[in-house]
Amino acid sequence: MRGPIIQAVFGVLVAALVSIAELLLWHWLSPNNYILFTPTMIIVSLLVGLYAGISATITGTVLVALLFFHPYDPAQLMTAKFISIVDEFKSLKPNEVISLTVFLSVGIAISFLSNAIKTRTQQLAEAATSAKLRTVVEKELIAAKDVAENAARMKSRFLDIAAHELRTPTAAFSLLLQLSQIQHERGNPPDLAIWLRLRAQADRLSRIVSDLLEVSRLDRGTLTLKCEATDLVSLLSDCLENFRLSAPTRRLTLSKPVQPVEIRMDRTRIYQVFSNLIDNAIKYTPEDTPIEVTVESNPNTVRVSVTDHGPGIPERQQKLLFNPFSRGKNDRVEQSAGLGLGLSICRGITELHGGTIGVTSNPGTGSTFHFELPRTLLSRKAA
């Protein structure tokens, strides 16, 4: 209750109710027939407010003077037609006046003290809430700052990596074009080796640009899937055949279920995921080691694993491999080109299918990259 008038009315009503209770309990409370007023004033002041406490104190003082200093019987009071307030106050003895004065003063003091306690408690509570809120805001600001700084570092790293990766093929492209121009000016026929090298650099540029576009679409949530019922084993077999042609010295094996494994998926995107895992296994492991592909068909999911026998990946690096611009740290990785976007793209595509992707590895014993797809497509981005 906020308004002073409402508080005052409430105090009067409470004092009247307490007086009725005192009269009803007359024989049990005597001689302390107004003992209930003091706790009432404290409670009213604490729960309602200062004005209610003061109003209850004044009303209680008047009612004590009228009803409790003289030995009225409750039954007599109920049958009395009129009680003269002036006469009652005139008939008060000096000690009764002093008692009423003390009662009134103490009651008002209690009201002010109770209200002060209530106000201070509210202030402390507000201060605690404000401090807690300030702590939360500070934590959020620190977190936002960390995110911004991390984004700035990622941007700087991206610019460094992209500049380096783009500079190498463009420089080679420019040199090859100059060489081809010189041969043309000398009247020599085009050299097939130069054209093949030009084609390789153009393909490399195309892959870099394609990876950047893929990451951008995944970040914006605009990459969509074109899903259809597909035999996963057949798709993986076709991909492995292509790698056997491009890397004839590598031994690629496929362990698969006897029955076809048909699920709804975007065959182009899953081919891209599997191709990236095989390509990494070929690039980053010794040529005389096999690469083993395993397909496990479960009631609700299908799991594809690619196991190599390379140097392995430390546990600390495993947690970062699927982040953008993250690459492993070994001689083969550092000597190969790349933005470190391939596994990040694989994760985005797999998650769009409602699946998961991960790696298990022990340094010195090789690595197993795996992705798992649900038999029922869950992604909202599926077309």
Question: What are 257-310's pLDDT values in tens digits?
Answer: 988 899 999 999 999 999 999 998 998 888 899 999 999 998 899 999 999 998
pTM check: above 0.75: no
Are 359 and 292 in contact, with CB atoms under 8 Å apart?
A: no
Q: Is residue 110 part of a domain?
A: yes
Domain termination site, one of 68, 100, 133: 133
Question: What tokens were used for 256?
Answer: 């698969």
The CATH number of whichever domain residue 314 belongs to comes to 3.30.565.10
Mean pLDDT (the chain) is 77
Neighbours of 264 (CB within 10 A): 17
Is residue 205 located within the same domain as residue 174? yes
Is residue 12 located within the same domain as residue 68? yes
Q: Considering its fold, how many domains does the chain have in total?
A: 3
Taking the CA atoms of residue 9, residue 10, residue 11 and residue 16 in that order, the dihedral angle to the nearest 10 degrees is: 90
Query: Cα separation of 243 and 238, whole Å?
Result: 9
Is residue 9 located within the same domain as residue 116? yes
Q: Which domain holds residue 292?
A: 228-374
Name the least confident of 124-138, 280-294, 299-313, 354-368. Answer: 124-138
Q: Are strands 291-297 and 252-255 parallel, antiparallel or unpaired?
A: parallel
Q: Above 50 in pLDDT, residue 379?
A: no
Is residue 256 located within the same domain as residue 204? no
The CATH number of whichever domain residue 203 belongs to comes to 1.10.287
Geometric angle at alpha carbon 215, from 197 and 203, rounded to 5°:
10
Is residue 278 located within the same domain as residue 352? yes
Is residue 235 located within the same domain as residue 363? yes
Q: Is residue 148 part of a domain?
A: no
Domain termination site, one of 84, 101, 133: 133
Q: What are phi and psi of 190, to 5 degrees?
A: -60, 135
10 Å CB burial of residue 149 (0-12, 13-18, 19+) is: exposed
Q: Is residue 380 part of a domain?
A: no
Domain termination site, one of 181, 200, 220: 220
